Chains A and B, each alone.
Chain A
């Protein structure tokens, strides 16, 4: 799940810092689905998600010189993406369209996943709807943790939060989802 854990990611970072054009293309290719996935989960609109994902990579491209490498490359990209998403969501014109984020209900789901109940059906729709209805800050934490697989510390770094705040938001989000999916869990 985390390509940048290995030596390849470190080499990629070195090439990026050296200004190698090909390295940036590799970066986009390697992280496009993660960045786009977070944007789509947060915004619920594919066109808007692509716009934000593209902007995230462009900002990363412009800021590579200033990236010190304290965090992982992926965490840095998540940080840029999540900030762009939250800014977009807080924009006045965006708030009026929140109710219509039906696209979240059509997000893909893994075929034959570990839980048979997640086969395309009512539970799947209920899960996606429940995620979409979470408050933005909680949804962001649960997406980064449970879908993208970041650690608490990485989420705290990406969202510039205290680890305790991350834990709290994550717990509230999960508890909220559990309550909404109650009838599927009995």
Chain B
């Protein structure tokens, strides 16, 4: 047996795991090899050291923690775990939900204060000059101004909410220009092209003060409008502002207001045309009215039932008003109760439909 072979058996020798034959052979080698005896001695002492090593103790409270962790979860938590998918798909869904809720919250907050403010500041809005752009950023409304994010086309029109029809067309146009010209990096090129007046306009910060006598309406809403907001909403919020504008061709989609805004519009002062439409069948008449509006590019902005009559507010282009009145005459007996002195670009008509 070589020394190398003998030393391979040291471990088994220490553990007394060699058979009788193996032990006899190793002992024979050791008897004649002082080096291997010395090595075996060191090997055995090493193992002895290892055997003397004390086992560490588990920390205090370990048993309680294990028992607690092993306790089955309550039935409702187990049920929830079964019903919900694993973590990986759940995370994006939660993130999407958060984003959706946040977007809706911003959307609602952008609009609710502006309508309230518009009603409150109705009278002074007609004469007060416009504050400078930086002041708007600090104006009330509870929505942080986000100039860099707000497309100008959208921010301009909601600012006019609450102005009655008395504001001149020129003022409205100048106000729109001032807001439209605000430098907005986030605005896509396509949107910028939609407002060609921008390119020729002077500095956005100087213009509101020098050219556009602006009603002192609270306008946080104008600055807070975000690209994510659907395009039709701002215009629908401000039907009266639209009346004062340069009368772009009315697109039905532009006039469709979100429901939340439609409801709020009832609080606005009514300066449009009011008439009574006597029909045989109110439901049929409303259907015909809807068809008429669709054909003429108008839109129904409100509907309520009062004293056996259905009151419907509609908004339609001035050029279509004549045809609208003729159409109403075909639906039933149409009688004006209040007529506007001068028709704006968009005419607001309140119909009391009775039988």
User: Could you tell me which A residues sit within 8 Å of B by CB distance?
Assistant: 24-25, 28-29, 32-37, 40-41, 46, 50, 53-54, 57-58, 61, 107-110, 113-115, 117-118, 123, 127-128, 131, 142, 145-148, 152, 167, 170-171, 174-175, 177-178, 181-182, 185-186
Q: Are A24 and B46 in contact (CB under 8 A)?
A: no
Given contacts A36-B57, A147-B55, contact A167 B12 (CB under 8 A): yes
| Residues B70 and A57 in contact, CB atoms below 8 Å apart | yes
Q: Which residue of A has the minimal Cβ distance to B55?
A: A37
B70 to A110, Cβ gap below 8 A?
no
Tell me if A109 and B54 are in contact (CB < 8 A). Answer: yes
B62 near A50: Cβ-Cβ < 8 Å: yes
Among B46, B50, B65, B69, the most chain A Cβ lie within 10 Å of the Cβ of B46
Query: Given the complex of chains A and B, what is the CA–CA distance between A141 and B142 in angstroms?
Result: 68
Q: In whole Å, how far is B61's beta carbon from the nearest beta carbon of chain A?
A: 10
Residues of chain A lying within 8 A (CB to CB) of residue B10: 171, 174-175
B63 interfacial contact with A, CB 8 Å: yes
Cα–Cα distance between A147 and B53 once the two chains are bound (Å): 6
A167–B19 alpha-carbon span in the complex (Å): 14
A-B contact sample (18 more), CB < 8 A, given A171-B10, A178-B43: A24-B70, A29-B63, A32-B66, A33-B57, A50-B62, A54-B69, A109-B54, A115-B49, A123-B49, A127-B49, A146-B53, A147-B53, A167-B11, A167-B17, A170-B11, A174-B10, A174-B50, A177-B46
Chain B contacts with A in 146-188, Cβ cutoff 8 A: none
Q: Contact check: which of A53, A114, A148, A171 meets B8 at CB < 8 Å?
A: A171
Q: Choose from A25, A113, A114, A182 the contact partner of B63 (Cβ within 8 Å).
A: A25
Contact of B56 among A25, A40, A127, A145 (CB under 8 A): A40
- Assess whether A28 is in contact with B49, with CB atoms less than 8 Å apart: no
Q: 25 A-B pairs, CB-CB below 8 angstroms?
A: A28-B63, A36-B56, A41-B56, A50-B59, A54-B65, A54-B69, A61-B70, A107-B56, A108-B54, A108-B56, A110-B54, A115-B49, A123-B49, A128-B53, A131-B50, A142-B50, A171-B10, A171-B12, A174-B10, A174-B14, A175-B10, A175-B43, A177-B50, A182-B42, A185-B41
Q: Given the complex of chains A and B, what is the CA–CA distance between A79 and B11 in angstroms?
A: 23
Chain A CB within 8 A of B194 CB: no
Residues of the B chain whose Cβ atoms lie less than 8 Å from the Cβ of A33? 55-58
- Which residues on A sit within 8 Å (CB–CB) of B87? none
List of B residues within 8 angstroms of A110 by Cβ: 52-54
B69 touches A58 (CB 8 A): yes
**Once bound together, how far apart are the Cα atoms of A114 and B49, in whole Å?**
9
A114:B46 contact, CB within 8 angstroms: no
Given known A-B contacts A32-B63, A58-B69, A174-B46, A127 and B57 have beta carbons under 8 A apart: no
Chain A interface helix/strand/loop/mixed: helix
Distance A84 CA – B67 CA, assembled complex (angstroms): 19
Q: Complex: how many Å from CA A178 to CA B43?
A: 6
Residue among B52, B55, B59, B67 facing the most chain A CB atoms (10 A cut-off): B55
Annotate B56-89 by CB proximity to A: 1 below 8 A, 0 otherwise.
Answer: 1111001101110110000000000000000000
List A contacts of B287 (CB < 8 A). none
The 3 closest A-B pairs by CB, nearest first: A171-B11, A146-B50, A36-B58
* Chain B: CB-nearest residue to A46: B59
Are A57 and B56 interface neighbours, CB within 8 A?
no
Instruction: Evaluate contact between A28 and B53: CB separation under 8 angstroms.
Output: no
- Among residues of B, the one whose C-beta sits closest to the C-beta of A61 is B70
Assess whether B47 is interfacial by the CB under 8 Å rule. Answer: yes
Is the Cβ of A146 less than 8 Å from the Cβ of B66?
no
Minimum CB–CB distance for A75 against chain B, Å: 16
B51 within 8 A of A: yes
A32 touches B58 (CB 8 A): yes
* Chain A residues positioned under 8 Å from B51 (CB to CB): 114, 146-147
Closest to B7 in A: A175
CB-based nearest A residue for B70: A61
Chain B residues with CB under 8 Å of A175's CB are: 7, 10-11, 43
In-complex Cβ contact of B66 among A28, A114, A170 (8 A): A28
A32 and B62 form a contact (CB under 8 A): yes
Contact with A along B194-227 (1 / 0, CB 8 A): 0000000000000000000000000000000000
Chain B's nearest CB lies how many Å from the CB of A91? 19
Q: What A residues does B46 contact at CB under 8 A?
A: 174, 177-178, 181, 185
